[in-house]
Structure 1
Amino acid sequence: MFEKIEVMRMARALGHHASQRQITVARNIANADTPDFKARDVQSFADSYRAASEPLRATDPRHLQAPGWSPAARQVSDETGVSPNGNSVSLEEEMLKAAEVKRSHDLSLGIYRSALDLMRTSIGRRA
Protein backbone atom coordinates (compact mmCIF):
# COMPACT_ATOMS: atom_id res chain seq x y z
CA MET A 1 0.00 0.00 0.00
CA PHE A 2 2.71 2.51 0.98
CA GLU A 3 4.76 1.94 -2.18
CA LYS A 4 2.00 3.60 -4.22
CA ILE A 5 2.30 6.86 -2.29
CA GLU A 6 4.98 9.00 -3.91
CA VAL A 7 6.11 10.72 -0.68
CA MET A 8 6.64 7.37 1.03
CA ARG A 9 8.49 6.00 -1.99
CA MET A 10 10.72 9.07 -2.10
CA ALA A 11 11.47 8.91 1.64
CA ARG A 12 12.38 5.23 1.32
CA ALA A 13 14.62 5.95 -1.68
CA LEU A 14 16.31 8.81 0.19
CA GLY A 15 17.00 6.53 3.15
CA HIS A 16 18.41 3.84 0.86
CA HIS A 17 20.60 6.40 -0.91
CA ALA A 18 21.88 7.67 2.45
CA SER A 19 22.80 4.14 3.52
CA GLN A 20 24.63 3.45 0.25
CA ARG A 21 26.53 6.71 0.53
CA GLN A 22 27.43 5.95 4.16
CA ILE A 23 28.91 2.61 3.08
CA THR A 24 30.95 4.36 0.38
CA VAL A 25 32.20 7.04 2.78
CA ALA A 26 33.15 4.39 5.36
CA ARG A 27 35.11 2.45 2.74
CA ASN A 28 36.94 5.61 1.71
CA ILE A 29 37.87 6.39 5.31
CA ALA A 30 38.96 2.79 5.95
CA ASN A 31 41.27 2.95 2.93
CA ALA A 32 42.69 6.40 3.65
CA ASP A 33 46.23 4.97 3.94
CA THR A 34 45.99 2.36 1.19
CA PRO A 35 48.38 3.14 -1.68
CA ASP A 36 46.75 3.83 -5.07
CA PHE A 37 43.21 3.80 -3.59
CA LYS A 38 40.87 6.18 -5.40
CA ALA A 39 38.10 7.83 -3.39
CA ARG A 40 34.61 6.98 -4.59
CA ASP A 41 31.22 8.58 -4.17
CA VAL A 42 27.71 7.70 -5.29
CA GLN A 43 25.78 9.97 -7.62
CA SER A 44 23.49 12.55 -6.05
CA PHE A 45 20.06 11.53 -4.83
CA ALA A 46 18.32 13.77 -7.34
CA ASP A 47 20.14 12.15 -10.26
CA SER A 48 19.63 8.60 -9.03
CA TYR A 49 15.95 9.17 -8.20
CA ARG A 50 15.31 10.81 -11.56
CA ALA A 51 17.01 7.94 -13.37
CA ALA A 52 15.00 5.32 -11.46
CA SER A 53 11.62 7.01 -11.79
CA GLU A 54 9.61 7.80 -14.87
CA PRO A 55 10.95 10.62 -17.02
CA LEU A 56 9.33 14.00 -16.56
CA ARG A 57 6.90 14.94 -19.25
CA ALA A 58 5.88 18.38 -20.34
CA THR A 59 2.24 19.15 -19.73
CA ASP A 60 2.28 22.12 -22.04
CA PRO A 61 4.27 22.52 -25.29
CA ARG A 62 5.10 26.09 -24.23
CA HIS A 63 7.25 24.89 -21.31
CA LEU A 64 10.93 25.70 -21.64
CA GLN A 65 13.93 23.51 -20.92
CA ALA A 66 16.16 24.45 -17.99
CA PRO A 67 18.84 26.93 -19.12
CA GLY A 68 22.50 26.10 -18.60
CA TRP A 69 22.94 28.69 -15.84
CA SER A 70 20.13 27.39 -13.63
CA PRO A 71 20.76 25.16 -10.59
CA ALA A 72 18.77 22.38 -12.28
CA ALA A 73 21.30 22.17 -15.12
CA ARG A 74 24.40 22.45 -12.94
CA GLN A 75 26.78 19.49 -12.92
CA VAL A 76 28.84 18.81 -9.81
CA SER A 77 32.36 17.52 -10.20
CA ASP A 78 34.52 16.36 -7.34
CA GLU A 79 38.18 16.72 -8.14
CA THR A 80 40.50 15.90 -5.29
CA GLY A 81 44.24 15.94 -5.05
CA VAL A 82 46.27 12.76 -5.02
CA SER A 83 48.88 12.08 -2.34
CA PRO A 84 52.39 10.91 -3.26
CA ASN A 85 51.39 7.25 -2.71
CA GLY A 86 48.52 7.59 -5.22
CA ASN A 87 45.73 7.74 -2.63
CA SER A 88 43.01 10.31 -3.35
CA VAL A 89 41.09 10.12 -0.03
CA SER A 90 40.79 13.38 1.90
CA LEU A 91 39.62 12.75 5.46
CA GLU A 92 38.25 16.28 5.73
CA GLU A 93 36.06 15.80 2.66
CA GLU A 94 34.93 12.38 3.85
CA MET A 95 33.89 13.83 7.21
CA LEU A 96 31.87 16.51 5.41
CA LYS A 97 30.24 13.79 3.30
CA ALA A 98 29.44 11.83 6.49
CA ALA A 99 27.68 14.91 7.89
CA GLU A 100 25.68 15.24 4.64
CA VAL A 101 24.73 11.56 4.90
CA LYS A 102 23.45 12.03 8.44
CA ARG A 103 21.43 15.05 7.35
CA SER A 104 19.94 13.06 4.44
CA HIS A 105 19.07 10.16 6.70
CA ASP A 106 17.42 12.46 9.24
CA LEU A 107 15.49 14.15 6.44
CA SER A 108 14.19 10.83 5.12
CA LEU A 109 13.04 9.82 8.60
CA GLY A 110 11.37 13.18 9.12
CA ILE A 111 9.51 12.96 5.82
CA TYR A 112 8.42 9.39 6.54
CA ARG A 113 7.27 10.30 10.06
CA SER A 114 5.33 13.35 8.80
CA ALA A 115 3.64 11.30 6.07
CA LEU A 116 2.60 8.66 8.61
CA ASP A 117 1.22 11.33 10.95
CA LEU A 118 -0.74 12.82 8.04
CA MET A 119 -2.15 9.40 7.14
CA ARG A 120 -3.12 8.69 10.77
CA THR A 121 -4.84 12.05 11.01
CA SER A 122 -6.71 11.48 7.74
CA ILE A 123 -8.18 8.18 8.99
CA GLY A 124 -9.15 9.71 12.33
CA ARG A 125 -6.39 8.43 14.57
CA ARG A 126 -4.18 10.87 16.42
CA ALA A 127 -0.42 10.39 16.36
Structure 2
Amino acid sequence: MLDHIPILSTASALARHAGARTEGTARNLANADTPGWRPLRASPFDPGAPGLRATRPDHLGGSSGAAVEWTLGAATKPNGNGVSVEAEMVEAARARADHGLALGAWRGAMDVLRASVATR
Protein backbone atom coordinates (compact mmCIF):
# COMPACT_ATOMS: atom_id res chain seq x y z
CA MET A 1 0.00 0.00 0.00
CA LEU A 2 2.74 2.49 0.90
CA ASP A 3 4.62 1.80 -2.35
CA HIS A 4 2.04 3.96 -4.15
CA ILE A 5 3.50 7.05 -2.44
CA PRO A 6 6.31 8.29 -4.74
CA ILE A 7 8.76 9.36 -2.02
CA LEU A 8 8.43 5.98 -0.29
CA SER A 9 8.85 3.99 -3.51
CA THR A 10 11.95 6.04 -4.39
CA ALA A 11 13.38 5.56 -0.89
CA SER A 12 12.72 1.81 -1.14
CA ALA A 13 14.40 1.63 -4.54
CA LEU A 14 17.45 3.53 -3.22
CA ALA A 15 17.70 1.20 -0.21
CA ARG A 16 17.50 -1.88 -2.48
CA HIS A 17 20.13 -0.38 -4.80
CA ALA A 18 22.46 0.34 -1.86
CA GLY A 19 21.97 -3.20 -0.59
CA ALA A 20 22.86 -4.65 -3.99
CA ARG A 21 25.97 -2.46 -4.15
CA THR A 22 26.99 -3.71 -0.71
CA GLU A 23 26.59 -7.29 -1.94
CA GLY A 24 28.76 -6.52 -4.98
CA THR A 25 31.42 -5.00 -2.74
CA ALA A 26 31.35 -8.08 -0.51
CA ARG A 27 31.80 -10.36 -3.53
CA ASN A 28 34.69 -8.25 -4.78
CA LEU A 29 36.42 -8.27 -1.38
CA ALA A 30 35.90 -12.02 -1.02
CA ASN A 31 37.66 -12.51 -4.35
CA ALA A 32 40.40 -9.90 -3.90
CA ASP A 33 43.10 -12.56 -4.26
CA THR A 34 41.35 -14.75 -6.86
CA PRO A 35 43.35 -14.81 -10.11
CA GLY A 36 41.32 -13.49 -13.02
CA TRP A 37 38.53 -11.96 -10.89
CA ARG A 38 37.21 -8.78 -12.44
CA PRO A 39 35.36 -6.57 -9.97
CA LEU A 40 31.62 -6.03 -10.23
CA ARG A 41 30.56 -2.41 -10.74
CA ALA A 42 26.96 -1.32 -10.17
CA SER A 43 25.14 1.15 -12.36
CA PRO A 44 24.37 4.50 -10.70
CA PHE A 45 21.01 4.84 -8.99
CA ASP A 46 18.35 6.29 -11.27
CA PRO A 47 15.68 8.17 -9.31
CA GLY A 48 13.16 7.89 -12.17
CA ALA A 49 10.95 5.64 -10.07
CA PRO A 50 7.41 4.79 -11.14
CA GLY A 51 4.99 7.44 -10.03
CA LEU A 52 7.29 10.40 -10.63
CA ARG A 53 6.17 12.79 -13.34
CA ALA A 54 8.64 14.10 -15.91
CA THR A 55 8.25 17.85 -16.46
CA ARG A 56 10.28 17.93 -19.68
CA PRO A 57 11.47 15.25 -22.16
CA ASP A 58 14.98 14.85 -20.69
CA HIS A 59 13.78 14.86 -17.07
CA LEU A 60 14.14 11.61 -15.04
CA GLY A 61 15.14 9.35 -17.94
CA GLY A 62 12.11 7.13 -17.60
CA SER A 63 13.63 4.05 -15.94
CA SER A 64 12.38 2.34 -12.79
CA GLY A 65 15.37 2.97 -10.51
CA ALA A 66 14.93 -0.41 -8.83
CA ALA A 67 17.25 -2.57 -10.91
CA VAL A 68 21.01 -2.69 -10.66
CA GLU A 69 22.94 -3.35 -13.83
CA TRP A 70 26.37 -4.85 -13.32
CA THR A 71 29.48 -4.32 -15.40
CA LEU A 72 32.90 -5.88 -14.98
CA GLY A 73 35.86 -3.72 -14.07
CA ALA A 74 39.25 -3.99 -15.70
CA ALA A 75 41.95 -6.44 -14.67
CA THR A 76 44.78 -4.32 -13.26
CA LYS A 77 47.07 -6.81 -11.51
CA PRO A 78 49.49 -9.24 -13.17
CA ASN A 79 47.32 -12.21 -12.13
CA GLY A 80 44.30 -10.71 -13.93
CA ASN A 81 42.54 -9.55 -10.77
CA GLY A 82 41.20 -6.00 -10.72
CA VAL A 83 40.01 -5.60 -7.13
CA SER A 84 41.39 -2.68 -5.13
CA VAL A 85 40.60 -3.14 -1.44
CA GLU A 86 40.79 0.63 -0.89
CA ALA A 87 38.33 1.34 -3.73
CA GLU A 88 35.95 -1.31 -2.39
CA MET A 89 36.02 0.26 1.07
CA VAL A 90 35.14 3.65 -0.44
CA GLU A 91 32.29 2.04 -2.39
CA ALA A 92 31.03 0.35 0.79
CA ALA A 93 31.01 3.72 2.59
CA ARG A 94 29.09 5.33 -0.29
CA ALA A 95 26.53 2.52 -0.31
CA ARG A 96 26.10 2.89 3.45
CA ALA A 97 25.55 6.64 3.07
CA ASP A 98 22.96 6.06 0.33
CA HIS A 99 21.19 3.51 2.51
CA GLY A 100 21.13 6.01 5.38
CA LEU A 101 19.71 8.64 3.05
CA ALA A 102 16.95 6.26 1.98
CA LEU A 103 16.08 5.43 5.60
CA GLY A 104 16.03 9.12 6.50
CA ALA A 105 13.67 9.93 3.64
CA TRP A 106 11.44 7.01 4.64
CA ARG A 107 11.41 8.10 8.29
CA GLY A 108 10.61 11.70 7.37
CA ALA A 109 7.77 10.72 5.07
CA MET A 110 6.32 8.41 7.71
CA ASP A 111 6.50 11.20 10.31
CA VAL A 112 4.52 13.46 7.97
CA LEU A 113 1.94 10.71 7.37
CA ARG A 114 1.59 10.02 11.10
CA ALA A 115 1.18 13.73 11.85
CA SER A 116 -1.49 14.14 9.18
CA VAL A 117 -3.45 11.15 10.48
CA ALA A 118 -3.13 12.22 14.13
CA THR A 119 -4.67 15.65 13.47
CA ARG A 120 -7.90 14.29 12.02
TM over 0.5: yes
Letter in 1 for 2:99: H
If each structure's helix is expressed as a fraction of its own residues, which one has the higher value? 1
C-alpha separation in 1, matches of 2:115 and 2:24: 38
Gaps of 5+ in 2: 60-71
Q: How many residues are aligned here?
A: 106
Moved over 3 A (4+): 52-57, 78-81
Deviation at 1:80, TM superposition (A): 5.6
Q: 2:54 aligns with which of 53, 56, 60?
A: 56
TM-score (norm 2): 0.78
- Scaled by the length of structure 1, what TM-score is found? 0.74
- What is aligned with 2:6? 6
| Gap regions ≥5 residues in structure 1 | 67-77
* RMSD, aligned CA: 2.5
TM-superposition CA deviations, 1:44-71 (whole Å, max 9, x none): 112xx43x6478352xxxx8x69xxxxx
Structure 2 distance, partners of 1:31, 1:123, is: 50
Counterpart in the other structure of 1:23: 23
Higher relative CO (Cα under 8 Å, sequence separation at least 6) belongs to 1
Higher strand share: 2
